Amino acid sequence: MLSGLPGVGTSEVAQGLARRLHAADAANYLEVGPDIWRRAATEAEAPVKAIESICSDPVEHRQRLESRRRELEAYPEPTGDSVTRRATDTEPWSTEHHVIDSLQPLESSLADAMGYLVP
């Protein structure tokens, strides 16, 4: 399970991991989100590990949001202000998870995630 605010690089890492493993990419702002994934894993008798993707540089994060164009007409791109509000409302993780910072190059993020997922 991979989670992070819009624009922090979560989807890029999820796509890279999906080529190697099965990965679920979801924002998971509220604890109910990760709970759903954990229950699904339990029912499937599959292990679940969680990774939170962050961007520790707020200026870089805002620039990523402003330049992002996914062309999903039904879902307008979030603004820096809306993501800041969302970050404030995001519930903290209640279970063990690994954090990767998307300021590092994508390949480094993938290696970091794989090291956690497949020790």
- The residues spanned by each domain of the chain are 2-117
Beta strands in the chain (DSSP E): 2-4, 51-54, 98-101
State residue 18's pLDDT score.
83
Q: Which two tokens stand for residue 73?
A: 């007409």
State residue 4's pLDDT score.
85
The residue written with tokens 């939170």 in the block is 52
State residue 78's pLDDT score.
83
State residue 70's pLDDT score.
77
State residue 59's pLDDT score.
94
State residue 14's pLDDT score.
85
Domain 2-117 CATH superfamily: P-loop containing nucleotide triphosphate hydrolases (3.40.50.300)
State residue 8's pLDDT score.
86
pTM for this one? Answer: 0.79
Residue 63: Cβ-neighbour burial (10 angstroms; 0-12, 13-18, 19+): middle
Positions in the chain short of pLDDT 50? none
